[in-house]
Amino acid sequence: MTSRQRRRRFPTPAWLRCSLGVRREMQSAQPFVDAAVALHLSHPHAPTADVLELALQGVDRRTLVFGQEAEPPSAFGMMVAEVHDNTGLTLEEWGWLANPRIDPKLATALLEIWRDKVWPRFLASERS
């Protein structure tokens, strides 16, 4: 077995999977999520896109580890949906995920849309 074949047997760690081979240290997104939500609550008339931009200013979103707090119906998830959802779903429809009696198929479908369409737009955006 060649060294090249050996390297292919093991998955590349997330911090190595990046452009130009630059190592990026992963960090918790929680401080940024908390800052965005607090700013949004303290300035309810400010555009949500501006709030997200300010909270994440100068941060490479690809280096942040977001948990379920980033998915709807969390406050941060709803902010991301408001700014980056181009699927035609309303915030009320994203809020259905908060209902404990939601049909599991509907919840799965909504989360698939979130992960396939909305979240990638957020991560790719330079300006939230």
27-77 pLDDT tens trace: 888 899 999 999 999 999 999 999 999 998 888 887 888 888 889 999 999
Whether residue 23 has pLDDT greater than 70: no
Residue 6 within a domain: no
| pLDDT for residue 13 | 47
In a domain, 2, yes or no: no
Q: Greater confidence, 4 or 67?
A: 67
Domain-embedded: residue 117: yes
DSSP-based three-state secondary structure for 28: strand
Report how many domains make up the chain: 1
Span 72-111, pLDDT tens digits: 999 999 999 999 999 999 999 999 999 999 999 999 999 9
For residue 49, being part of any structural domain is answered with: yes
Burial pattern 21-30, b for ≥16 Cβ within 10 A else e, equals eeeeeeeebe
| Residue 92, domain member (yes or no) | yes
> Which comes out higher in pLDDT, residue 126 or 87?
87
Cβ density class 43-58: b for 16+ within 10 Å, e for less: eeeeebeebbbebbee
Note the pTM of the prediction, 2 decimals: 0.75
In a domain, 1, yes or no: no
Higher pLDDT, 47 or 125: 47
Structural domain span for residue 100:
27-124
The amino acid that residue 102 corresponds to is: I
Secondary structure element (H or E) that encloses residue 121, with its range? helix 119-124
User: Does residue 85 lie in a domain region?
Assistant: yes
Is 80 part of any domain? yes
